[in-house]
Amino acid sequence: MIPELGQGALVVGIVLAGYGAIAAAVGAQTGRPALIESAQRAALAVFALVTACFLLLAYAFLTFDFSVRYVAQQTTLSTPFYYRVTAVWGALEGSILLWAWMLGLYTLIVVLRHRGERDLYPWALSVMLGIIAFFLLVMTLPAPPFERLTPVPADGRGLNPLLEDTGMITHPVALYLGFTGFTVPFAFAMAALVTGRVGDAWITTTRRWTIVAWYFLSLGLLIGGWWSYHVLGWGGYWAWDPVENAAFMPWLTGTALLHSAMIQERRRMLKLWNISLVILTFGLTIFGTFLTRSGVIASVHAFSQGSIGAFFLAFLGLVLLVAFGGLAWRWDLLTAQGELDSILSRESAFLLNNVFLVAAAFTVFFGTVFPLLSEAIRGVKVSVGAPFFNQVNVPLFLSLIFLMGVGPLIAWRRASIDNLTRNFLGPVAIGLVAAAVLHLVGVRSTLAVLTLALALFAAATIALDVLRGTRARLRAGVGLARAVTGLFLRHNRRYGGFVIHLGILLVALGVTGSQAWSVQTEATLTRGQAVEVAGYRFRFEGLSAAQESTHARVVGTFTVSRGGGAPIVMRPSKKFYRQEQAPIAGVDYRMGLTEDLYLVLGDFARDGSAATVKVLVNRLVSWIWIGGLVLTLGALLAIVPDDRLA
């Protein structure tokens, strides 16, 4: 009964969304507000229906309705409440439902904010409803969440144990909010192309949307890294897996868009480029869901099969062909003669920023599809993995760090020599001094020295700007605290951006430290035996077995001491799940500002007398997460509406 209701709601949703898309378009074309309002009501109804679907599916999960195949696949009678909720979006069908629901939510917000507007809004509404209709269609045909299972099993299969983690609440939600968020700028860009109003309206309307989507995407990526580090048991946070890349590419082009949009706002240039970037970014989000769901490229995330890949490929093709076709159609409107005063200017810095970001996105894209290309052309399967991506992306990211230092302080239009020396002499000196100090202290890795020196240079430019601004306010007789906060709030976009930059620099610090200075070793220890790594002594005390509701667990106890300090106890484990053929590693770790201790239990002896353990001492990894927090603060600051502030 409930599942049929849900499926029925989806079908009604498709019809309404399709109707709304057409009505809004016709209404916009023929100038009939009544049709547009009807489309608005359809949008509200669609949101209500998709929400109902979501609640119905959640209800099926909470009541152990194993007659629904999706529920039987994801949970067992012993799955705890918490995971029963997150299991709703734990696999293919539910994830599409989540995506569709977020699209509905964003459409609702667009309706509430822009209703009554006449130029772009109706067309944007039409595009968004059309996209929702597609996702609902996917849920009806290849991936129905409410599909019945006969005969009804007595118990379910159970959630993939790797997903039994708090990351399951936050990672997909944040990531999807980011992905779907880019639909809004895309819709408005399409509206601009259709109406020919390719001026600034569409970009100023969507500025805040772009930041919000970008922020959630950043958050999703960072949480994914956190989850990989703490759950997957290999001691790393990023593997350049194809699906990780699929989320990274729109992030790169989205970052490029954030910056080049600023040029359009101020100089009315780069319209063609900005629309292309929006189309590209949205296209990459669809490409991302295609990769995750089609099984075309082997990946740790791929959780699909069947005809769904064809659906997404067709949709991707349709979107790109229509969007870029529209771009070609409106070409003349978009290319205007730009004017720059000087090559040495912030505009140039932003252009360079775009070059490196888009080059990085292209590199990641080409590397990701290259195995397919190699097979198609040569008939030989090759792998393109972490060693490749790390090597080729490093120079690109270093250039970007350098530009992060240059961009914010170099003048718009024309940077005079005076401007350059005033702003950059100090930070450049600091960077050089840092490099020298690091070298003297004994840092051997040139890459680490270079990265840290550049990061310090960029941080110094930010600090210099804050210092100058604060000093100017202090001179006006304001107290220090008020000066700083006033500065930040008055120019919240600028300083929000700076704080975000700072967050990125901290992430760079964490990445550099962990890549350059982490140590690991693997050892087989008998009871009482110890291994020394990086000044820590890890002694194997013994094994014990425990039983949880969904799995059996073997835990290794290790005493860790350093010098004369108090010992701590760490308990890495191996978890044996009924439905999984290989045991899942349960990592134990201790996080610190400079070092993380990380233990992975390997093989163990029959009688518990010996165990193999992988010991990692990772350096500076915590700064990646700290950088993420700082990034969050910066993004919050940047999107506060200007009119609300002093």
Partner 1 sequence: MWRWLIPLSVVPVLGLLAYGFRVNPHDIPSPLVGRPAAPFVLRTFDGTDVSLASLRGRVVVLNFWASWCYPACYEEAPALERSWRAYRDREVSVVGVAIQDQPDAARKFIADFSLSFPNAPDPDGKVSVEYGVYGVPETFFIDRAGRIRLKQTGAVSDDLFRGEVETLLGEPA
Partner 2 sequence: MRRAGLLALTVAGLVGGRSVEARAPAAPRLAAGPVAAAAATVPANAAPTIDEETVRRVAAQLRCVVCQNLSVLDSPSEMAAQMRAIIRERLAAGEAPEQVVQYFVDKYGEWILLAPREHGFNLLVWAAPVVSVLVGLAVVAVLLRRWTRPRARPATPVDPALRERIRRELDSLP
How far apart are alpha carbons 351 and 461 in whole angstroms?
19
CB atoms within 10 A of CB 507: 22
Among 148, 196, 268, 331, interactor with partner 1 by CB under 8 A: 331
Shortest Å distance, C-beta 359 to partner 2: 4
Size of residue set near partner 1 by CB under 8 A = 28
Q: Computed from CA positions of residues 406, 514, 220, 366, in that sequence, does the dihedral angle turn out positive or negative?
A: positive
Stretch that binds partner 1, among 65-73, 288-296, 616-624, 633-641 (CB under 8 A): 288-296
Task: Give the residue among 203, 237, 217 at the shortest CA–CA distance from 171.
Answer: 217
Hey, what are 200's tokens?
């600034």
Among 325, 338, 528, 542, interactor with partner 1 by CB under 8 A: 325
Contacts of 399 (CB under 8 A, 6+ apart): 352, 356
Query: Residue 496, CB half-sphere, CA atoms under 13 Å: how many?
Result: 20
How far apart are alpha carbons 44 and 54 in whole angstroms?
15
Among 91, 384, 404, 511, interactor with partner 2 by CB under 8 A: 384
Question: Could you tell which of partner 1, partner 2, none binds residue 376, using a CB distance below 5 to 8 A set by kind?
Answer: partner 1
How far apart are alpha carbons 646 and 637 in whole angstroms?
14
Among 417, 582, 593, 646, interactor with partner 2 by CB under 8 A: 582
Shortest Å distance, C-beta 537 to partner 2: 8
Nearer to partner 1, 28 or 284 (CB): 284
Contacts of 551 (CB under 8 A, 6+ apart): 161, 575, 576, 577, 578, 584
- Which residues between 322 and 381 bind partner 2 (CB under 8 A)? 337-343, 348, 351-352, 354-356, 358-360, 362-363, 366-367, 370, 373-374, 377-378, 380-381
Stretch that binds partner 1, among 319-327, 449-457, 469-477, 637-645 (CB under 8 A): 319-327
Shortest Å distance, C-beta 375 to partner 1: 6
Nearer to partner 2, 149 or 523 (CB): 523
Render 57-107 in DSSP notation, one character per residue: HHHHHHTT-TTBHHHHHH--TT--HHHHHHGGGSSHHHHHHHHHHHHHHHH
Q: 330-344 burial, b if ≥16 CB within 10 A, otherwise e? A: beeebeeeeeeeeeb
Task: Give the residue among 312, 317, 322, 314 at the shortest CA–CA distance from 138.
Answer: 312
In the block, which residue shows the tokens 């308990």?
Answer: 571
Nearer to partner 2, 52 or 355 (CB): 355
Shortest Å distance, C-beta 109 to partner 2: 25
State whether residue 335 is helix, strand or coil: coil
Nearer to partner 1, 310 or 386 (CB): 310
- Which residues between 337 and 376 bind partner 1 (CB under 8 A)? 369, 371-373, 375-376
Question: Could you tell which of partner 2, partner 1, none binds residue 310, using a CB distance below 5 to 8 A set by kind?
Answer: partner 1
Residue 561 binding partner 2, by CB under 8 A: no
Binding mask of the shown chain, residues 240 to 279, with x at each position contacting partner 1 by CB under 8 A:
------------------------------------x---
Which residue type is seen at 155? D
Among 112, 152, 310, 472, interactor with partner 1 by CB under 8 A: 310
- Which residues between 565 and 624 bind partner 1 (CB under 8 A)? 581-582
Binding mask of the shown chain, residues 132 to 171, with x at each position contacting partner 1 by CB under 8 A:
----------------------------------------
Task: Give the residue among 587, 645, 583 at the shortest CA–CA distance from 613.
Answer: 587
